[in-house]
Amino acid sequence: MAVARPFFRICLVLTLALLGQACAGPSRVEAPVQKEPERFVRVEARLGSANPAGPIRFNHPLELTQKEWTRLLENVWVQHEPGVIALVSPKEPPIAAFTPDEIAFLSKTLSKAFRQAHPDEWVVFGLSRPRSPDLIEITTGGWFVEGERLYLLLANYRHVISMASVRQLLLEDPLHSTGDRYYTFAPGDFQTAELVGGGVLADLRGTSVPQLAIDYNGFLRPASAAKGVKSPQKPDTLQPAVSPEEGYGSNTAQKLRELKQLRDEGTITEEEYRTKKRQLLERY
């Protein structure tokens, strides 16, 4: 009997340890789909609080061809508009969210990724390119499908960084937002856009994340099958995709005046005024 008790305790400890390990689990399990020096697409199982928005289980896998992905990506547009404190001229037209080279890369890899994605997995991506010897421009985000809608979150768009540690952080966690948002989606037909995460205060300070929902079946169906429904159209005024920072030089003085007025009216705090003023001057 004396021998049985220690043996029983050992079995109990091992059983509890195994159960604890199974319950803890990793917050993110990665499966690379395509990885290159400057860009990647991969599938991630994000559990619990690691899921920033949307349901825990998605309607994955999804079967879309590379050509269908190309059509979808060509019709994603963004507008320079930094949250509630909109210091960008309303005359600035939407721009294409992705360059032709990025669309070619994403359409191929997203088609493959969604065919193998499970209901608890995101499809995440990262795109980077050099702006100068010391600066890198990076775009990161994620995709998922819920019901008949395809969702895109842009955690960071054309965000310019100089620190290697920040770049590494965004590549490891593409759904992490730096809080420097100077864009929103410009939705077209079969699309709706909103800001998610953090509520009104996050919208004010630019830390919420733009989300685009696409009715992909409605968008992709042949015109003959959607009688009476207008086919998707691109915005009337087209411009090549550029960095948000590149459009800030011509009207910086006007933006500074608008920012000062917001502070004087009490809409933003003195600290927020100084932060936004410094950001504007840095981008001038």
Residue 13 lies in a domain: no
Residue 277 domain boundaries: 248-284
Q: Does 110 share its domain with 170?
A: yes
Residue at 14 is within a domain: no
Instruction: Please report the pLDDT score of residue 83 as a whole number.
Output: 46
With cut-offs at 50, 70 and 90, classify the pLDDT of residue 238.
Answer: very low
Residue 18 in domain = no
263 part of a folded domain: yes
Phi and psi for 120 in degrees, rounded to 5?
A: -105, 20
- Asked if residue 283 and residue 218 are part of one domain, the reply reads no
Tell which residue, 182, 154, 189, has the closest CA to residue 242. Answer: 182
Residue 264 has pLDDT above 50, yes or no: yes
Peptide bond into 133 cis (omega under 30): no
The verdict on residue 101 lying in a domain is yes
Mean predicted confidence (pLDDT) in 253-265? 72
Length of the chain: 284
Of residues 8 and 30, more confidently modeled: 30
Could you give the CA distance from residue 86 to residue 193 in angstroms, rounded to a whole number?
Answer: 17
Residues 171 and 269 in one domain: no
Look at residue 177 in the predicted model and tell me its pLDDT: 86
Q: Are residues 218 and 266 in the same domain?
A: no
**Spatial CA neighbour of 141 closest among 161, 122, 164:** 122
Give the least confident one: 166-180, 184-198, 246-260.
Answer: 246-260
pLDDT for residue 90: 53
> Is the pLDDT reported for residue 17 higher than 60?
no
> What's the pLDDT tens digit per position in 188-234?
999 999 988 754 433 334 457 899 999 999 999 875 444 444 444 44
Q: Does residue 60 sit in the same domain as residue 171?
A: yes
- Smallest CA-to-CA distance from 163 within 135, 193, 203 is with 135
The verdict on 179 and 276 lying in the same domain is: no
The total number of structural domains in the chain stands at 2
Q: Which of 86-95, 116-125, 134-143, 214-223 has the lowest mean pLDDT?
A: 86-95
3-state secondary structure (DSSP) of residue 261: helix
Average pLDDT over residues 263-282: 74
Domain assignment present for residue 7? The answer is no
Q: Is residue 21 part of a domain?
A: no
In a domain, 6, yes or no: no
- Same-domain status, 73 and 167: yes
- 221/252 same-domain check: no
Looking at the structure, do residues 121 and 68 belong to the same domain, yes or no? yes
Please tell me whether residues 158 and 55 are part of one structural domain: yes
Q: Kindly state whether residues 238 and 252 are assigned to the same domain.
A: no
Q: What is the pTM of this model?
A: 0.66
In this predicted structure, the answer to whether residue 156 has a pLDDT above a threshold of 80 is yes
CA distance linking residue 140 with residue 104, whole number of Å: 16
The mean per-residue pLDDT over the stretch 235-252 comes to: 45
Spatial distance between the Cα atoms of 39 and 33, rounded to a whole number of angstroms: 11
- Are residues 94 and 204 located together in one domain of the fold? yes
Question: What does the mean pLDDT of the chain come to?
Answer: 74
Ranking 122-136, 173-187, 206-220, 253-267 by mean pLDDT, the lowest is: 253-267
